Amino acid sequence: MLAIFVRPQEIPENGADVAHLPQVHGPIMTTGIDLRYTYSKLWNFAKHQWIGSWAAGTGDQKHVGTMSLTHSIMLWGFRLPVLDLTVQAKQVGTYNRGNGHYSNTLLLIPVEKKN
């Protein structure tokens, strides 16, 4: 089990915020964590590209949010198709476990690519 220590509303808000993907998860890993250098011209040749959408569940699935994501790695403006990834993140609503702790379930489901 993965424990993430944040306020209960952080994860649901982040899940629905598709616009944060290129800003937070766009820079390539080798840029490091120092925000002064994350967008430096030295590492500008490589980046993650994210295309995503979010939808709330309906009917008896109103407590489930689904983010559909397509991820690519770009080098010098060219996509590397071998590293493409398409997933659905299904987020089951936050609930209080009764002892002041909140639980949230997030499932990442690979999606078969249709040609």
The pTM (predicted TM-score) of the whole model is 0.61
Band of pLDDT at residue 14, cut at 50, 70 and 90: low
Q: Where are the domains of the chain?
A: 10-110
Q: Read off the pLDDT of residues 35-62 as tens digits, 9 standing for 90 and up.
A: 787 777 878 888 989 888 888 888 888 7
* Side chain identity at residue 11, one-letter code: I
Q: Which two tokens stand for residue 87?
A: 């997933």
What gap in Å lies between CA 109 and CA 97, rounded to an integer? 25
